[in-house]
Amino acid sequence: MTNQLPHSPRSDARDNRERILAVARTTFAEHGLDVAMREIARRAGVGPATVYRHFPTKEALVTEVFTEQMATCTALVDEGLADPDPWRGFCRVIETACEMHARDRGFAAAFVAAFPHAVDFATNRDQALADLAELARRAKAAGKLRPDFVLEDLVMVLMANTGIRTTSPAAAAAASRRFAALLLQGMRAEPAAVPPLPPAVRMPLRVMF
C-alpha cells in the first residue's frame, strides 16, 4: 500500500500544460518564434495532439507565454513598490528586469511585431512605466537615487542590456547581473558607498569589431 494518491486526469492535464508553457518559454527565447509546435511537444515530452489540445494554434501558445511574461514584469514592479526601502526596491527591479531581458533574447519584441493586436501591450506598458516613475520618485526622496535620473535612462539601460551576447543563457544572465551592478553604481546619489561587483563573465570580444 502507498500513501500517495495517483494523479487525477485534471492534475495530469494541468501538469502537461505547465510543462508545455515552460518549454515554450525557454525555446522561444532561445530560438525565436519559428520553432514548430511539434518541436515544442518533443521537448516537453508529450504528443503534438496534447499541445494542440491546450493551445489550438501557435499564436495561442505564444500569446500565453507573452502574457505570463507581462504578469511577471508587473509583479516585479509591484514588489519594488511594496519594499519599505525604495532604493532596494528600485535596485531589485533594475537587476531582475535586466536579467529577464538577457534571457529573453528578443522574444518580447518579436511577439509584438508578429502579433501586435493579440494583447493590450500598450496599457500594461504605460502602467508599468507609471509605477516605475513612482518608485524612482520615492528613491530620490530617500536620497538614494541621483536626482537627475529620468525614465529614458532606464530605456537606454534595457536597450544596451539587450545587446549582451554570450555562449549560453546562463552566461547572459550572469553578464547582465554585472552590467546592472555597474549601472546602479552610477545611478546612486552617493556613489562612494558601493558594494563589490558580481563576478566578471568571459565575453566574445570579437562582437565589438
What confidence tens digit (pLDDT) does each residue in 29-68 have?
888 889 999 999 999 999 999 999 999 999 999 999 999 9
Q: What is the mean pLDDT of residues 23-34?
A: 89
| 127-186 confidence digits (pLDDT tens) | 888 999 999 999 999 999 989 988 888 888 888 888 887 777 788 888 889 999 988 988
> What percent of the chain is modeled with pLDDT above 90?
40
Distance CA 109, CA 18 (A): 23
Residue 3: the pLDDT is 53
Per-residue b or e along 84-109, where b marks 16 or more CB atoms closer than 10 Å to that residue's CB: eebbebbbbbbbbbbbbbbbbbebbe
What's the pLDDT at 193?
55
pLDDT band at 91 (very low <50, low <70, confident <90, very high): very high
Q: What is the CATH number of domain 8-56?
A: 1.10.10.60
User: Hey, do 8-56 and 58-208 end up sharing a CATH topology, with the first three levels equal?
Assistant: no
Integer Cα distance of 162 and 45 in angstroms: 31
Share of the chain above pLDDT 70, in %: 89
Domain 58-208 has CATH 1.10.357.10: yes
CA 106/CA 208 separation, integer angstroms: 20
Task: Give the domain ranges of the chain.
Answer: 8-56, 58-208
| Residue 105 pLDDT grade (very low, low, confident, very high; cuts 50, 70, 90) | confident
Q: Higher model confidence: residue 11 or residue 66?
A: 66
pLDDT at 187 over 50: yes
